């Protein structure tokens, strides 16, 4: 997600901001702009580059924009362009656009309520529920309506709403999904990842706090609270896997945290080996940390074709396997005859590890010791990461020994819960708690899924 307020080149900057966050979703992209009087939308299926051409951005114009890249989760399976965000609604009193990230756990219930009141919903998107709830609120202002509606929502979410003359930004009471505010000249920017600020030369201001609603307009920035501030529970998987290494989440740099995960892993689970290799790209930081701590050389044993999207974005298992095959290749000259420690950031379904171990063995590796830079994922995520059924999680259905056998490794071991938490949370005084529910089963937000 991305938002910008108070800049002549709002649409173009939104495009760059999306581009820096392309890894967060590859199914679709959209931008809505405001010129102060009306809202305009351009969206489509595919990558940011496919959806937007120079002429589209020119046509959009505007001095404020919100933007989104789409990655559908289990609870949110709409596939067509209608489900691509931002969603834009017109009415007699003006227009309103929504971009949302995360998962609303009680959306089924909210939908039922809305339909019984006569709302006709057009998409399967959570954001549409939010839009209708806000429209139906009896409060006079949009601020009032948002503050009225948000406490009804159970789940993990961040969102940006755009009106002709204002932008609204909010994060759930636990702050599970990341969202930061930056400054660019006299204007403001908002992004899930700070990598989007760097690319457009904006400076980081602060995080959107758990349970906070921020209203941005030409008058500046105003903060309101719609929920009691609870301890933050930022998604640990953002650090482990999802975010870009150059992003800072909650004052912690992602690459640095991954290196600490790798170093912890080396302390907890050393291996007799000749070299350490990482699975590109997300495991390289952890592999460097492991190598540094263990004293083993870090080697480039696997290379990645960078023109193929992330495996987990592709919907079916069959496609996933195909994607993995196309994506990674072993470096025979490096691994042949060697004992290799292979670091991966996580095992979800087991597809990646299995394929890579086989690939390394076929390339002549003598032993492959798999070390995973996060604890085993045994519980579904209800907060917006696409692993929402126990059935698909290899560690929910197999012991570590069985996993080792399935993926054909010489040994498999995972980082401890405590090791991961310590690698992320550097300074407890700045409210840096993390969600680790998919590993511990300890869910910070309870509700239906
Ligand atoms: P698997 O192949 O075991 O399903 O997925 C684990 C590997 O793919 C890791 O290398 C990780 O980087 C990536 N990955 C694929 N899907 C997901 C997902 O839904 N969540 C996380 N955390 N990582 C995933
Ligand atoms: Fe992130 Fe796991 Fe928590 Fe989901 S359950 S928000 S993936 S840490
Ligand atoms: Mg990976």
Domain layout of the chain by residue ranges: 2-230, 237-440
> In this prediction, what percent of the chain has a pLDDT beyond 90?
72
Q: How far is the CA of 378 from the centre of ligand 2 (A)?
A: 11
Q: Nearest residue CA, atom 6 of ligand 2?
A: 235
Q: How far is the CA of 231 from the centre of ligand 1 (A)?
A: 27
Is 72 annotated to bind a ligand? Reply is no
Tokens of 74: 């289990």
Burial per residue of 38-52, b for 16 or more beta-carbon CB atoms within 10 angstroms, e otherwise: ebbbbbebebbeebb
Identify the CATH number of the domain defined by range 237-440: 3.40.50.2020
Residue carrying structure tokens 């409060």: 139
Say if residues 255 and 373 touch (Cβ distance below 8 Å).
Answer: no
Four-residue CA torsion sign, 269, 250, 437, 25 = negative
With a Cβ cut-off of 6 Å, ligand 1 is lined by 237, 241, 279, 282, 311-312, 344-353, 385-387
SS3 category, 96 = strand
**Of 165-174, 365-374, 380-389, 411-420, where does mean pLDDT reach its minimum?**
380-389
Nearest atom in ligand 1 to 351's CA: 2
Q: How far is the CA of 345 from the centre of ligand 3 (A)?
A: 6
* The pLDDT of residue 323 is above 80: no
- What's the pLDDT score for residue 435? 96
Q: Which residues surround ligand 3, an ion (CB under 5 A)?
A: 279, 282
Q: What is the mean pLDDT of residues 226-255?
A: 93
Q: CA-based angle 34:121:138, to the nearest 5? A: 70
- CB-based burial label for 203 (10 Å; 0-12, 13-18, 19+): exposed
- What's the pLDDT score for residue 324? 57
SS3 category, 243 = coil
Q: What is the mean pLDDT of residues 215-234?
A: 92
Is 35 annotated to bind a ligand? Reply is no
- What's the pLDDT score for residue 108? 86
Q: What is the mean pLDDT of residues 156-160?
A: 94
Superfamily of domain 2-230: Aminohydrolase, N-terminal nucleophile (Ntn) domain (3.60.20.10)
Is 381 annotated to bind a ligand? Reply is yes
Is 404 annotated to bind a ligand? Reply is no
Return d(Cα 332, Cα 314) in angstroms, integer.
Answer: 28
The string of pLDDT tens digits covering residues 78-105 is 668 888 999 999 888 889 999 999 988 9
Return d(Cα 34, Cα 217) in angstroms, integer.
Answer: 12
Return d(Cα 419, Cα 367) in angstroms, integer.
Answer: 26
| Helices and strands (H, E) in the chain, number of each type | 17, 23
Residue 2 exposure: Cα atoms within 13 Å on the Cβ side: 37
Q: What is the mean pLDDT of residues 195-218?
A: 96
Q: Nearest residue CA, atom 4 of ligand 2?
A: 381
With a Cβ cut-off of 6 Å, ligand 2 is lined by 176, 235-237, 381, 383, 385, 435-438
Nearest atom in ligand 1 to 347's CA: 3
């Amino acid at each position: 997600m991305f938002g910008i307020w108070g800049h002549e080149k709002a649409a173009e900057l939104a495009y760059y901001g999306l581009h820096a966050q392309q890894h967060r979703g590859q199914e679709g992209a959209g931008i809505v702009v405001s010129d102060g009087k009306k809202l305009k939308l351009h969206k489509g299926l595919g990558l940011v580059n496919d959806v937007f051409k120079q002429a589209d951005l020119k046509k959009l114009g505007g001095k404020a924009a919100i933007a989104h890249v789409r990655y559908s989760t289990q609870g949110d399976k709409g596939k067509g362009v209608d489900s691509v965000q931002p969603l834009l609604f017109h009415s007699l009193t003006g227009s309103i656009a929504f971009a949302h990230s995360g998962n609303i756990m009680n959306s089924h219930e909210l939908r039922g309520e809305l339909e019984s009141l006569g709302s006709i919903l057009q998409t399967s998107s959570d954001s549409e529920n939010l839009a209708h709830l806000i429209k139906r609120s009896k409060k006079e202002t949009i601020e009032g309506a948002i503050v009225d509606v948000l406490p009804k929502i159970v789940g993990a979410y961040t969102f940006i709403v755009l009106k002709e003359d204002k932008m609204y930004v909010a994060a759930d009471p636990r702050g599970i999904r990341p969202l930061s505010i930056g400054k660019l000249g006299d204007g403001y920017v908002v992004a899930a990842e700070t990598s989007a600020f760097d690319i457009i030369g904006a400076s980081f201001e602060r995080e959107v706090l758990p349970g906070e609603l921020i209203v941005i307009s030409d008058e500046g920035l105003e903060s309101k609270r719609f929920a009691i501030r609870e301890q933050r529970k930022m998604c640990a998987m953002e650090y482990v896997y999802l975010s870009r290494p150059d992003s800072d989440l909650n004052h912690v740099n992602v690459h640095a945290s991954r290196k600490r995960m790798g170093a912890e892993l080396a302390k907890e689970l050393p291996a007799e080996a000749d070299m350490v290799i990482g699975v590109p790209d997300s495991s390289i930081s952890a592999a460097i940390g492991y190598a540094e701590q263990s004293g083993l050389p870090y080697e480039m044993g696997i290379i990645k074709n960078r023109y193929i999207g992330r495996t987990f974005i592709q919907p079916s298992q069959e496609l996933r396997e195909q994607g993995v095959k196309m994506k990674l290749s072993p470096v025979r000259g490096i691994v042949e005859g060697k004992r290799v420690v292979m670091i991966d950031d996580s095992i979800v379904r087991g597809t990646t590890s299995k394929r890579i171990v086989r690939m390394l063995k076929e390339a002549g590796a003598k032993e492959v010791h798999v070390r995973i830079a996060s604890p085993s994922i045994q519980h579904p995520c209800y907060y917006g990461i696409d692993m929402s059924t126990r059935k698909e999680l290899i560690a929910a259905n197999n012991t570590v020994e069985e996993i080792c056998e399935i993926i054909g490794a010489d040994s498999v071991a995972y980082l401890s819960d405590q090791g991961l938490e310590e690698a992320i949370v550097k300074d407890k005084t700045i409210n840096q708690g993390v969600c680790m529910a998919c590993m511990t089963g300890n869910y910070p937000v309870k509700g239906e899924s």
